[in-house]
């Protein structure tokens, strides 16, 4: 038999997830049926149903890529043998980088073969194009490689997968604002009117000076399999009279335990717009990654009041999170 072999067609390449029983090696070598014959893959009525114990978590799905095709020798005769077969995924149609590879003893019957790539992991697939290369026995890898469609990237949906991409946002309405003090006799006391769609903050007392309000921001400590980063915060506000009442301080804190915080934003620019406006502040990159114990975040706004009449209205804030790193 001549050593040069040619893949006629790759019949199937999809990412599959298996939970519970896996295909055996004998099934790996089972050839696909002739055209027009359908395989019924349902479990028969006599097969015992696999159940989990009440407290047993569901099995985590494993990644397995089935590859099927038909191979002949250089003379066009179909192969009939058990041969070591190496399957490799690349990020280019030639050359390029190997994404993952697997080698199995594969049974060829009338040229047909069926195998599984079991050494790939979901992180091998991040949305890039991919090509399959096949090497049979001692022969060099066959050309051309077979381009892979988009179906394999469903692997990114399995439990624990890391999904990295564009920015995501969390919006918190101004009605979530809370005063720094609820004691009217305290110099830091404010009155917050929530009767509208936003929060109108006034001094509450005739004493002039700076008051403080705070806003809790609920964020996931882990999203899409990775710890997100808070890259910026945008505050939506307006002043009834930017001369008499305005924002003086904007601070964003990330808690790490019950009494320890990292400062992500510390800005002291005055915000005095008398019409609806917003401003965006980038976070300090030293602390901006959330973690297992650092997913609770608080915004503090310092507001100066010259009197107890003019208010500052807070419509809300938008937190920008990034998972593309």
If asked whether residues 13 and 116 sit together in one domain, one would say yes
Which of 56-65, 88-97, 239-248, 254-263 has the lowest average pLDDT?
56-65
pLDDT tens-digit profile of 165-189? 678 889 999 999 999 988 888 889 9
Q: Residue 249 is part of a domain; what is its CATH number? A: 2.60.120
- Domain hosting 54: range is 5-157
The answer to whether the beta carbons of residues 312 and 237 sit under 8 Å apart is: yes
The owner of tokens 């305005």 is 246
Q: Is the dihedral of CA 256, 258, 260, 265 positive or negative?
A: positive
Residue at a domain's end among 106, 124, 157:
157
Neighbours of 162 (CB within 10 A): 12
Q: What is the pTM of this model?
A: 0.57
pLDDT at 26 over 50: no
Of the two residues 36 and 193, the one the predictor is more confident about is: 193
Encoded tokens for 287: 């602390």
Residue at a domain's end among 157, 182, 216:
157
Of the two residues 23 and 124, the one the predictor is more confident about is: 124
Domain count, the chain: 2
Q: Give the Cα separation of 200 and 77 in Å (integer).
A: 82
If asked whether residues 152 and 24 sit together in one domain, one would say yes
pLDDT confidence bin for 153, thresholds 50/70/90: low
Asked whether residue 162 is domain-assigned, the answer is no
Asked whether residue 163 is domain-assigned, the answer is no
pLDDT tens-digit profile of 52-104? 444 444 444 557 888 988 998 888 899 999 999 999 999 899 999 999 999 99
Q: How much is the mean pLDDT over the chain?
A: 79
pLDDT confidence bin for 264, thresholds 50/70/90: very high
pLDDT at 163 over 80: no
If asked whether residues 173 and 87 sit together in one domain, one would say no
If asked whether residues 19 and 96 sit together in one domain, one would say yes
For the chain, how many helices (H) and strands (E)? 1, 19
Mean pLDDT of 253-264: 91
> How far is residue 247 from each of residues 178, 241, 325, measured CA to CA in Å?
15, 11, 33
């Amino acid at each position: 038999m001549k050593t040069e072999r040619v893949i006629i067609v790759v019949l199937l390449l999809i990412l599959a997830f298996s939970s519970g029983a896996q295909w055996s090696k004998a099934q790996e070598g089972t050839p696909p049926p002739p055209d027009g014959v359908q395989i019924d893959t349902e479990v028969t009525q006599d097969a015992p149903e696999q159940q989990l114990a009440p407290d047993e978590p569901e099995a985590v799905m494993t990644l397995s890529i089935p590859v099927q095709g038909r191979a002949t020798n250089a003379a066009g005769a179909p192969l009939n043998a058990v041969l070591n077969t190496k399957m490799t995924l690349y990020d280019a149609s030639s050359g390029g980088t190997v994404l993952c590879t697997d080698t199995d003893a594969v049974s060829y019957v009338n040229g047909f073969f069926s195998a599984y790539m079991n050494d790939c992991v979901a992180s091998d697939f991040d949305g890039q194009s991919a090509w399959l290369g096949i090497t049979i026995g001692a022969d060099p890898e066959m050309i051309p490689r077979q381009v892979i469609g988009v179906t394999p990237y469903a692997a990114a949906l399995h439990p624990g997968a890391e999904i990295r991409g564009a920015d995501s946002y969390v919006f918190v309405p101004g009605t979530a604002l809370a005063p720094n003090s609820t004691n009217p006799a305290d110099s830091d006391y404010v009155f917050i009117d929530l009767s509208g769609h936003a929060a109108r903050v006034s001094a509450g007392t005739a004493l002039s000076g700076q008051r403080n309000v705070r806003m809790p921001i609920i964020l996931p400590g882990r999203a899409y399999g990775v710890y997100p980063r808070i890259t910026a915060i945008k505050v939506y506000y307006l002043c009834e009279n930017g001369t008499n009442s305005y924002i003086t301080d904007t601070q964003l804190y990330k808690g790490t335990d019950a009494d320890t915080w990292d400062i992500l934003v510390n800005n002291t620019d005055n915000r005095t717009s008398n019409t609806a406006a917003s401003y965006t502040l980038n976070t300090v990159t030293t602390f901006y990654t959330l973690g297992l114990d650092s997913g609770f975040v608080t915004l503090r706004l310092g507001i100066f009041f010259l009197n107890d009449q003019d208010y500052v209205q807070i419509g809300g804030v938008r937190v920008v999170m990034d998972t593309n790193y």
